[in-house]
Amino acid sequence: MKLTIEKLTEWGACKEGKDWFISQDETDEIEVVKKLIYVRIDWANWLVVRLMTHSQQVQYAIFAAEQVLDIFEKEYPDDKRPRKAIKAAKAYLRNPTEKNKNAAARAADAAYAAARAAARAAYAAARAADAAYAAADAADAAYAAYAAARAADAAYAAAYAAARAEMKKRIINYGIKLLNHKEK
């Protein structure tokens, strides 16, 4: 299908995104998504979701959640809310009744609450680490340890960013697969 500036405007695309679209030659929806993966991955995700049917959006959300479920469960092995949300979403896909829709929504809310709690805990841990680094900065020997730890943090952050970008690409490529299936 052909992507147009009118569609982007209707969907509420930002000015920067519309300007980018106008500046390039591609109008095939899927090809535009593929280009965006390397230009602005967040825009690729934004667009792929708008090109999907509701059922595809649910499948896409399930796939994305499954990609990070093990990370969450390693950190919070007793918190089953995200797994229950995925199970409820799959039940809704198999049988899209109002009951299953409501159950999936409740499970999603619980999973979102779990994710927020995890994010707050991670933020608090990072602030505590920053405080420890600041305290360590008091002595020259401690400063050397602090600098080494910061270098290790930077390496970890770079590896994390690369892994995160690869995961985003994998998820968006799954979305493209769903879109290609719709066209056949």
User: CA angle, corner 126, sides to 86 and 132, nearest 5?
Assistant: 155
Q: Is 74 within a domain?
A: yes
Question: Residue 138 sits in which domain range?
Answer: 60-167
CB 40 within 8 A of CB 49: no
CB 32 within 8 A of CB 48: no
Least confident piece of the model among 27-31, 72-76, 126-130:
126-130
**What is the model's pTM?**
0.74
Distances, alpha carbon 9 to alpha carbons 5, 13, 53, 158, in Å: 6, 6, 19, 35
Read off the tokens for 126.
Answer: 């990072």
How many structural domains compose the chain? 1
Q: Is 159 within a domain?
A: yes
- What is the rounded CA–CA span in Å between residue 180 and residue 184? 7
* pLDDT tens readout for residues 78-128: 988 888 888 888 888 888 888 888 887 887 787 777 777 767 766 665 555
Q: Is 173 within a domain?
A: no
Q: What pLDDT, on the 0 to 100 scale, is given for residue 184?
A: 46
Q: Is 1 within a domain?
A: no
Q: Where does the pLDDT of residue 148 fall: very low under 50, low under 70, confident under 90, or very high at 90 and above?
A: low
CB 172 within 8 A of CB 45: yes
Q: Is 67 within a domain?
A: yes
- What is the rounded CA–CA span in Å between residue 65 and residue 71? 10
- What is the rounded CA–CA span in Å between residue 63 and residue 7? 26
Q: Is 145 within a domain?
A: yes
Q: Is 112 within a domain?
A: yes
